[in-house]
Amino acid sequence: MELFRLEHKKLWRKNTTRICVLLCFVYCVVFGSFLMYQWGTFGSRKDNMDGRNFDGYENIRKCQAYFSKYGELTDETLQEWVRDYQCLTAALKKEKETQGSENRETLQTYQNAGWETVNSMLRTLYPELEQEEMRYVMIMSCYVDPDKLTGLYERREKALHTFLDVSGQTGGEREYLLQINEKVQEPFSWKWVEGWSNVLGNLVSGLGIVIALFLAIVLSGLFAGEWHDNTSPLILTAKNGWRKLAVAKILTGLSFALELFAVVAVGTVVLQLVYLGTEGWDMPVQTIKMIAIAPMNMLQAEIYEFAFTMLGAVGFAGVVMLFSACCKNHVLALLLSLAVVFVPTAIHNNVPVRLAKALDLLPLVGSGADIFRTNTFHLFGHYIWSPYLLIWVPVLLGILSLPPAVRGWARRMRV
């Protein structure tokens, strides 16, 4: 334990470590979270529609207040939303014709109505009501007849079946996915969705790739740095020797991965609570993507994505330490570590589907957002929904990398 404490302190005393942690925090929490909430994504639109105002906190409260009257997603509430939206559209048009410009309050209400999510819902569930000639002129919510928006949940089932057919997911795979979907509870709670959509679709699911970059920079020199510092003779003659030191370094690397994740996760969650609060945590993820099969609400989905990132960071730390132990040059260890994440990401769309799925199992290569998809793996005659494997395989790969890391460093220390 004393050796671990000394190694841990040694790692955190490095300027590289401190700079990387600071940059990771600034990028993920300050730019990726605070500025997104307060300005870039949720700030109100400027009068000339050119950019956003720095008023995200107030604007989010207005968006949440707009949806407070609907409660549940049913045929009736969907129809009510469309009628309200069409009334807002008509009011803006009338104000522009009579006054020459829209009233700012009416315009803000119109922009806070959550039309992006609802329009996606309408296009998915009621494709026959979309007018092709209007697709690039105005959104579907502006002209669709509200009275024709019926059978919402039956249409969701039909849309899911159609999607599986188009994706070629038939037979046993189809039955397996539909069994997962049967656990989805209806009717859906319905509040303001856009905040959770950004959290699950962008913010949390995008943390892994950033954390991977800084983990690779810090941990690639954990073992290889001893060669750079020419400390191998000292280690071989020291009281504890290379084996105990290797264990201490591995524990240091794993603890640093958890600490870096904690710094980012805590900052992200605190800002989320400040800006979004807890409203809407019980909404199912289907309010973001109607054909999703995950039987999860927003809180469960966020916990999954954070767990995916944390376990992926631990797994990636193990892989980085393996490269660091096997390479005398810490720059080479850094390049190999970065290649594990960024090469598969770069070629993902240009390789066969099976290879792409296999690459997703590498630490921090896949995405926690797979809970919105119907991807599966076929192993030993059984289908497994991808989120089940994506959360455990990366950390197992990292753990399996640790014994070879110790042996690899031992061989080099004895040379």
Instruction: Say how many domains are in the chain.
Output: 2
Report which of 6, 414, 2 is spatially closest to residue 232, judged by C-alpha positions.
414
Residue 51, domain member (yes or no): no
Residue after which a domain boundary falls, among 93, 127, 150: 150
Question: Do 328 and 203 share a structural domain?
Answer: yes
Residue 338, domain member (yes or no): yes
Question: Do 307 and 228 share a structural domain?
Answer: yes
Instruction: Please report, rounded to a whole number, the percentage of residues in the chain having pLDDT higher than 70.
Output: 95
Residue 182, domain member (yes or no): no
Residue-number span of the structural domain to which 304 is assigned: 2-41+193-413
Question: Do 357 and 246 share a structural domain?
Answer: yes
Tell me: the pLDDT tens digits for 92-101?
Answer: 888 887 887 7
Question: Do 139 and 259 share a structural domain?
Answer: no
Output the CA–CA distances (angstroms, integers) from residue 42 to 30, 36, 135, 194, in the order listed: 15, 7, 25, 9
Question: Do 14 and 105 share a structural domain?
Answer: no
Question: Do 221 and 288 share a structural domain?
Answer: yes
Question: Do 341 and 295 share a structural domain?
Answer: yes
Question: Do 213 and 86 share a structural domain?
Answer: no
Residue 321: the pLDDT is 96
Residue 297, domain member (yes or no): yes
Residue 47, domain member (yes or no): no
Residue 212, domain member (yes or no): yes
What is the mean pLDDT for each group of 10 consecutive residues in the chain (415 residues)? 90 96 98 96 84 94 94 96 95 83 83 92 95 85 96 97 96 97 96 96 95 97 73 50 83 98 98 97 97 98 98 98 90 96 94 94 96 95 97 97 87 60
Tell me: the pLDDT tens digits for 344-384?
Answer: 999 999 999 999 999 999 999 999 999 999 999 999 999 99
Question: Do 199 and 111 share a structural domain?
Answer: no
